[in-house]
Amino acid sequence: MGKIIAVANQKGGVGKTTTAITLSTCLAMADKSVLLVDADTQRNAASGIAGIIDNTPRTAEEFPHPIYELIQFTTLGTLRIITLENIVTHTGVASGYTLNKIKEFFNVFSQHFDYIIFDCPPSVTQPTILALSLATDVIIPMQCEYFAMEGLSQILNTIKVVQKQQNIARIDYRILLTMYDASNPLTEEIRNEVKSHFKNELYSSMIHRDNLFPESSSHALPIVTYAPFSRGSWNYINFTKEVLSNG
């Protein structure tokens, strides 16, 4: 059974989709089989890797289950993507969107992938609840700004609510600091404050500000393929190593 990771934060603009895309890409480059799930109706994750989508016709033998026909392949080989919206639309559950029905599909997926990465919408909706209830781990990207503390508090509260409602013993989460700016003293203050409250839940890796992030997005490519030697790329490579070292 593969690991299911939900990348979630109720505050937008914190690098959530970038984290989901880049982590998925880095894991695939580390020879892990990865399914990236775009759970946001805006489909930013799908747009963000459109440049590496492989539209080569596939044979029936490549689909161990009919639901796999909804999966898109990429040029990285072991990285695939699917939108939650397509699952809901094409499997006949659009009129009765039940968590249990969708969970059945992901139980099938988890038998064939090392990692399933959810890019959650920045709101408490059914897709977010689904991802949190399925997740073995939750990654919370947090921008290094004081206003981001409010978003952190909100997502932690949502995790507690889902844990209770779904009768889940424990939902493990860790915080990834993003948009770190070493030239801004306030950034380090925020890092220290988060560390003082969440020492065991804070990744040692951080994602620095890098102008190549929006540039790579405009080309529909993950930064690690668009600018592999950039600072942002190396930040995510080191972060991925940390994720892998945690099992």
Largest CA distance in the chain: 56
Highest mean pLDDT among 26-35, 54-63, 117-126: 26-35
Residues spanned by the domain of 160: 3-245
> How many domains are contained in the chain?
1
Q: Residue 157 pLDDT more than 90? A: yes
pLDDT at position 46: 84
Tell me what the pLDDT averaged over the chain comes to. 87
Instruction: Give the residue from 114, 27, 101 showing the smallest Cα distance to 19.
Output: 27
pLDDT over threshold 70, residue 62: no
Query: Which of these ranges, 8-22, 79-93, 167-181, has the smallest mean pLDDT?
Result: 79-93
> Which range has the worst mean pLDDT, 103-112, 127-136, 158-167, 185-194?
103-112
Give residue 211's pLDDT band: very low, low, confident or very high (50, 70, 90): very high
CATH number at residue 56: 3.40.50.300
Determine the pLDDT at residue 43: 84
